[in-house]
Structure 1
Amino acid sequence: MKYKKRIILFSLLFVIFIIFIVPGALADSSCLDCHEKLSAFNETEKLFNEIRVKHLARDVSCSLDCHAATLDKFAKSNYEQWTRSKHAQFNVSCESCHGGNPGSDIKDEAHTGVRRSSDPDSTVFYRNVPETCGECHVDELNQFRDSKHYQRLKALKQAPTCDTCHAPHEFKVLNMSEIHGMCSNCHNPDMRIAPLDVPDMAIASLEDAERLNDEIKKAMDAIKFAKQQGEDVSEAQKDLENAESIRDQLPVLWHSFDLAQFESVIDSGIEAARRAQMDSDTPAATPSTPGAGAMLSLAGIIAIYLLLRRGKG
């Protein structure tokens, strides 16, 4: 009964936190106050955004005379996209990327220092995006700086950057099929960006990462069984922890886009997980023949009975 009361109490506290505390933490941001009131995101604006991103990738700025109305609609939709993002969940608001003064409700003051994404000095200009994201995602930036993507980006060439894959304002994480399609945008026979088999290699690497996770689960089960048998699992536990550490660093390592290195790290993780399975392996007892003990006992009883009868005779 006490346990149920605790669950109810914690549930009420969580609801109070979501309803009152979280909105209060965001209440001082004029960015959210303003953009929340603007029009919702729609598919037409999403299509326009994709076209605009392609323009920016080629250093082609949109003409405000031509696209002013559409640009305005798109700007109004950013809040809607952001509300569905991980950034929203962790209270990372507009000024973290765009700059500005969220403490002011005067438009000009609120947008102080904010530049259009087509401006090379903007924090969200496509070549500057990695450093902007890297203010928080330090490890990912360090890996990305070692990639060919980053080298091409800094050489003023067309190349993918953070929001190419993660989508501005949504900051989504691509699934396996989406990654194949994304890589294929550049690594294809028409674009002639080698190696052409990158999309397939990327999927193979991600499948191997899943295989590592499966081997870790097997190791955990083996160690659990060995513990139940009273076996020493200290070495197996070390190997398991090593495999888990390798698995946990894979999302960051992915941003180097060095698939050969990525595969090598996965292989070392799989080896560690399999060592954990072997180290915790408990030899199975040799099964006895069903009924053998009973048959021997019966034979002994019969022999004693016959001896007793012979003695009486």
Structure 2
Amino acid sequence: MRRRTCAFVLGLSLGIGGALLGARLGGASPLQGSAQAENSCVTCHQRITTPLELSQRYYDWHLSVHKERGVTCDVCHGGDPRARQAQEAHREMRASSDPHSRVHGKHQPETCGACHQEVRTAYLASAHFAKLSAAGLGPFCSTCHLQMANATVRSAIDVSALCGRCHNAEGGIMPPNPQLIKSAQETLLSLSRANGVIIWADRLIEAAEGKNLTIAEERRELEAARKLLQEAKWEWHAFRLEPVRAKADRAFEQGAKVKDRLLQKVYPGSRP
């Protein structure tokens, strides 16, 4: 039985990796075919090979969730995606370093928040946004998410390095606060743990469906845990760590209970 459980866990790990890769690369893109051909930003920038940084930015977008959702360059950066000449296409566009640019740090809450409303609401209530508004010193969306959100701060090590620039650095803009850094690390770990157990339960639901098992109750309870975790992820952007940690821990506990019940249904006698 232990062998079967271990084999399942190995399959789960491979399945998660495959699912994530499939989410990035698999299936039809909303920009394939005529829609992509009609967008001059896409058709022009995909042919650019130099400078290297500009060329790579296209591939950052090409492999991003933004492309999957049909969010093209002009949605955030401006410009005219119907123009055929570069000068016309780039008209009224500004470099991200320009304070008037739509993707300048001070304007990112508005630009990104046009789609990410829940995150924007949480961020606008944060001390970070207050600092950004008052002195232009607070972190903004791309501080953590970088371009196209392809690279996102997810690990405790990342949090220590990033938050420590202001909160734990000698001569930083905020007094050193090692406890705050530790709390942020633990909160992020709690979010990641809850996310992991919910993914595990999702895979068990797929296995249960393959065996035609009755799992209606488990579905309902897992969706409740998923909703709780999503709320915690949104609220993370307000940087009030204690309530986020509490909500993430509750999501984990609920998800773990569902996972354990599903495990017994799908693989009777296996250990959680």
Asked if TM exceeds 0.5, the reply is yes
Partner of 2:65: 86
Q: Is the 8 A contact 1:40 1:77 kept in 2?
A: no
| Structure with max Cα Rg | 1
Contact 2:31 2:70 in 1 (8 A): no
Q: Name the residue aligned to 1:30.
A: 40
2:110 pairs, out of 131, 151, 154, with: 131
Task: Name stretches of at least 5 consecutive residues in structure 1 with no aligned partner.
Answer: 1-14, 43-73, 222-232, 281-313
SS in 1 for 2:166: coil
In structure 2, the partner of 1:197 is 179
AA paired with 1:179?
V
Overall identity of the aligned pairs, in % = 28
Counterpart-to-counterpart distance in 2, 1:271 and 1:100: 47
- Number of residue pairs matched by the alignment: 230
Range moving further from structure 2, 269-278 or 206-215: 269-278
CA distance in 2, matches of 1:266, 1:84: 29
Alignment partner, residue 255 of structure 1? 237
Other-structure match for 1:46: none
Pairwise CA distance, 1:29? 1.1
Match of 1:101 among 46, 55, 80: 80
- Aligned in 2, Cα 1:96/1:193: closer, same or farther, shift over 3 Å? same
Provide the aligned C-alpha RMSD in A: 4.0
Please tell me the residue identity of whatever aligns with 1:199. I
Deviations along 1:10-40, one digit per CA (max 9) or x if unpaired, are xxxxx9956x971432111111222222225
- The alpha-carbon deviation at position 213 of structure 1 amounts to 5.2
- Preserved contact between residue 239 and residue 275 of structure 1 (Cα < 8 Å): no
Aligned-partner SS, 1:22: coil
Matches within 5 A, 1:256-271: 256-270=238-252
Whether the 8 Å contact between 1:85 and 1:170 is mirrored in structure 2 is yes
The answer for the alignment partner of 1:206 in structure 2 is: 188
Q: Given the alignment, which residue of 160, 163, 166 partners 1:186? A: 166
Give the Cα separation in 2 of the matches to 1:271 and 1:207.
14
Task: Tell me the secondary structure at the aligned position of residue 100 of structure 1.
Answer: coil
Contact 1:189–1:196 (CA<8 Å) still a contact in 2? no
Compared CA separation, residues 25 and 16, structure 1 to 2 (3 A): same
Change (3 A) 1:174 1:279: closer
Aligned mates of 1:170, 1:140 — CA distance in 2: 14
3-state DSSP of counterpart to 1:186: helix
Q: For residue 273 of structure 1, report the CA deviation from its aligned partner.
A: 5.5
Deviations 1:70-106 (A, max 9, x none): xxxx445432332232222323111011111110112
Q: Which runs of 5+ in 2 are unaligned?
A: 1-25, 205-215, 263-272
Higher RCO (C-alpha under 8 Å, 6+ residues apart): 2
Verify: 1:114 aligned to 2:93, yes or no. yes
TM-score normalised over the length of structure 2: 0.68
Written as runs of structure 1 = structure 2, the 5 A alignment for 1:215-254 is 241-254=223-236
1:268 and 1:95 mapped to 2: Cα distance? Answer: 40
